[in-house]
Structure 1
Amino acid sequence: MREILVVGGGYAGFYTAWGLEKRLRPDEARITVVDPRPYMTYQPFLPEVMAGSVEARHAAVSQRRHLRRSRVIAGTVTRIRHADRTATVRPADGPERELRYDVLVVTAGAVTRTFPVPGLTEQAIGLKHVEEAVAVRDRLLTSFDRAAPLKPGPERERLLTVTFVGGGFSGVEGFGELLSLATALLKRYPEIAFEELRFHLVEARDRILPEVTDRPGEWVVRSLTERGAQVHLNTQLVSAVDGHVVLSDGLSYDSGLIVWTAGNASNPVVHNHTDLPVDERGLLTVRADLRVGTPEEPVPDAWAAGDDAAVPDLASPVPGARTVPNAQHAVRQGKLLARNIAATLHGGKAEDYVHHGLGVVATLGMGRGIFQYRRLVVKGFPAWLMHRGYHVLAVPTWERKVRVLAVWLTAALFGRDIVSLASVQDPRAAFVAAGSPEAPGHGKR
């Protein structure tokens, strides 16, 4: 009975464990998955979760429901000592403990990259997890409720101002979807005019969506601008103290909502707390067959994939290229990891990872999108349909596909739900307030 430890239950980790369950007999190996969250987040759906087009739970795939033969531990791996075949695990509750393994799979995923911008950690919300997408949506809906009865002034303007920092796919899709939601909300809030909405997208480079070519990227900027947004290129966030945004181009304003989507950083556990080889970026050095190590010196019984692995891109004409950290690669690498590990355990040979891109597709809000495959560019409603079609096919399990389709059909018939549940972030507030001495009727029976 071999012990296989999977560090991280994201795309690559989930698909690795799922595939190993199908390829290995129960008496061949025991699979353990360690992740702080008991679900895999389907991140391409987060912008639509934020806009209310997809239910939050439908963007999360339960590990325990679908990894039926794996042991799932809700916790964090804090150190890996592959020389001893041990990993230190910090569970959600209780003391740390050591786990021994025979085969290691590192798919811990990246973390949000931040910079020492004053006020950033106190004011901003990320967009990497379901909880963050829900919080952004509830914050916007609550801001509309609070702004509607106010007279024109600084507080009303602050509540109706949104700032996204980061012009990659996550930032642009989230920005476009939230702008679409805010515009749709105006029908239900006659007190608020379209001209009062202030949506700012801040990008440090001279273009957004680096995965597409220049002209489609310019079209996206024009499209967002025509919808009332302000796109700041070659601009950085200088300060966000108390929600007062200061940009490097000299503009400053108060923003009721700040969303940070300025890229990812290597996982600290991989970067600083393992004896496995890493490159200058803190990513695991990985061979084309997804073994950790170099072609000349593979590390025995160690595999890696996903955002924390510098996987050679054999499909790229550029020498030394590495696969980009996105869902398209992570899913396919996870599937190949399962095949390769099972093959080696059965005495077979591991395959190299080669994947030719299927193009890039992004949603820019309800009914708007962009798709590019080489020189072919599709814009607007057809691209939006392609985005939805691709991702409903890509999300794992038929159960999740059906649930997502059902929500889309319901929204098409009745519109998006615009109820804010921001109070769930402090569920005891009403109970505590009711029991305070100042509460009406306190102490009466």
Structure 2
Amino acid sequence: MAQRIVVVGGGQLGLEFAHRITRKLHPGEAQVTVVDPRSNMTYQSFLAEAAAGSIEPRHAVISLRRVLRRCRIVGGTVTGISHADRMVHVQPLIGPPRDLPYDQLVVCPGGVTRALPIPGLAEQAVGFQSIGEAIWLRNRVLERLDVAAATTDHAVRDRALTFVFVGGGYAGVEAIAELEDMARDATRYYPELTLAQMRWVLVEAADRIMPEVDLDLADYTARELGMRGLDVRLSCQLQSCVDGHVVLSDGAEFDADTIVWTAGVRPSPMLRETDLPLDERGRVVCNARLQAVSDGLPLPGVWSAGDAAAVPDLTSPDPTALCGPTAQHAVRQAHTLARNVLATLRGGVPQEYRHAYVGSVASLGLHKGVAQVYGVRVRGWPAWFMHRSYHMTRIPTVNRKVRVIADWTLSLVLKRETVALGELHEPRQRFARAAAGKSTAAADS
């Protein structure tokens, strides 16, 4: 009888695992089922470039059904897992709940935004984890330029041209750098505005940015951002942003129309609705073989990796060190997961996950970047090229590789598009006004 493999989560790790293992399974050996409320995977590393218009947003999204043709895709939310019964509880997009039995379970639901109870945050801020948020943020920045150019009120202009990003991890750094670069290009078409009028603030609670990488590269990146005029505030926290009035822990106060929260992620809260072993942060406790571990012993048939798992880092001299929540680990853990689950099905021995850190790359705008590979630091165009070359090897499917390369090639010879499409976020507003008999002249002007 074919083994039943259920994958919880269709993100990059879940897609990579399912794609790899189905290519190696013998006919009838196993049936792989992927459960996710979305039918696509967003390549998170391209969110900043999609927001800045360097690539088409659709090209950063991969269809699960198109790539995982040998898998069964269940569109729904996992509401709980009962390993005692070997059952995954699912709430489909529409209809009654259903249960999925399994022989092998791969838990990789990823993480969710880690928000704090800061006054005004829920009402004023936007996250940066989805393609929808990236598109909204692009439109927001360009619309604020329009607002600033049209007004004669200095307070309104200053508020519109102030952009605050809270969180100095990879996501926050790349987002603020890419969007500032886009806005810099756009101001060429606004004779009413100057670069000096824009204010970009990066707020980080720690004493460094980019904790996912070596301190040398983090300091290097902070200096690069500072040279471009970005205000990088370390050891600083957002205390309040009620009605857009930003109050920082270092005493600074100012108004901002745009506040972006990128201060990390936490494991999916769904894990609390399971009988799996979790650590104090709510991650599945795993051994180096990516097997869930309870009381020091592997749980038969349960595997986990990525943001949702606490996996020992065997390359660290610290025996308590865990693998960080980076895309590098997620992709490589997916490969190890596929090999280990396949080995288990065939009576083999799973192998330990071990990945030595070789360096990092980060995009800071069109033709701008920083990189540190094998201790060598690079900046500017070469680092930007290295960033794109690396991610070209990682984004799934030839289809997406070709489309992204086409976007990048066109950007070398054509100017960046700086058009806001704000109506995308409220598509029924114009029709609703017309149906109510209200004037649409303002919207048409």
Change (3 A) 1:440 1:200: closer
Q: Secondary structure at the match of 2:35?
A: strand
What residue number does 1:311 align with?
Answer: 311
Q: Give, in whole Å, the separation in 1 of the partners of 2:296 and 2:194.
A: 64
Matched, 1:416 2:440: no
- Shift in alpha-carbon separation, 1:192–1:124, aligned structure 2, 3 A: same
Q: Is 1:392 aligned with 2:400?
A: no
| TM-fit CA distance, 1:377 | 1.4
Counterpart of 1:147 in structure 2 is 148
TM alignment of 1:218-257, pairs within 5 A: 218-257=219-258
Q: Name the counterpart of 2:207.
A: 206
Match of 1:258 in 2: 259
Cα deviations across residues 21-47 of structure 1 (Å, max 9, x unaligned)?
A: 111134222211111221111111111
Aligned mates of 2:104, 2:74 — CA distance in 1: 17
Q: CA deviation at 1:294?
A: 5.5
Q: Which residue of the partner structure matches residue 41 of structure 2?
A: 40
SS of alignment partner, residue 80 of structure 1: strand
Partner residue, 2:173 = 172
What's 1:56 paired with? 57
The structure-2 alpha-carbon separation of the partners of 1:312 and 1:2, relative to structure 1 and needing over 3 Å to count, comes to same
> 1:279 matched to which residue of 2?
279
Does the 8 Å contact 1:211/1:360 carry over to 2? no
1:346 is the counterpart of 2:330:
no
Gaps of 5+ in 1: none
Please report how far the alpha carbon of residue 387 of structure 1 lies from its aligned counterpart in structure 2 after TM superposition: 0.5
Counterparts of 1:257 and 1:357 in 2: how far apart (Å)?
Answer: 35
**Stretches of structure 2 lacking an aligned partner (at least 5 in a row):** none
- What whole-Å deviation, never above 9, does each CA across 1:47-71 have from its counterpart, x for those lacking one? 1111110111111111000000111
Is the CA contact 1:237–1:246 (under 8 Å) kept in the aligned structure 2?
yes
- Find the residue that maps to 2:48 and give its secondary structure: helix
Aligned to 1:118: 119
Does the CA-based 8 Å contact 1:287-1:295 persist in structure 2?
Answer: no
Residue identity opposite 1:326 in structure 2: T
Counterpart amino acid of residue 365 in structure 2: G
- Contact kept in structure 1, 2:307 and 2:325, CA below 8 Å: yes
Contact 1:363 1:384 in 2 (8 A): yes
Q: How many residues align?
A: 440
Counterpart contact for 1:207–1:217, Cα < 8 Å: yes
Rounded to whole Å, the distance in 1 between the matches of 2:217 and 2:33 is 44
CA RMSD of aligned residues (A): 1.6
380 and 294 in structure 1: CA distance in 2 versus 1, 3 angstrom threshold? farther
2:421 paired with 1:426: no
Equivalents in 1 of 2:308, 2:364: separation in Å? 28
Q: Is the partner of 2:7 in helix, strand or coil?
A: strand
Task: Provide Cα deviations, 1:194-233, integer angstroms capped at 9, x if missing partner.
Answer: 1110111101111112244444433322322222211111
Under a length normalisation based on structure 1, what TM-score does the superposition of the two structures give? 0.95
Letter in 2 for 1:252: E
Local SS of the residue matching 1:73: strand
For residue 249 of structure 1, what is the amino acid of its counterpart?
D
Q: Paired residue for 1:89?
A: 90
Q: 2:331 maps to which residue?
A: 331
Q: Determine the C-alpha separation between the residues in 1 that align with 2:218 and 2:352.
A: 33
Question: Residue type matched to 1:426 in 2?
Answer: E
CA–CA distance in structure 1, aligned partners of residues 194 and 145 of structure 2: 11
Determine if contact 1:287/1:294 at 8 Å carries over to the other structure: no
Q: What letter matches 2:240 in structure 1?
A: S
1:89-119 CA-partner distances (Å, limit 9, x unpaired): 1122223222222211101101111100011
2:389 aligned with 1:355, yes or no?
no
Corresponding residue SS for 2:150: coil
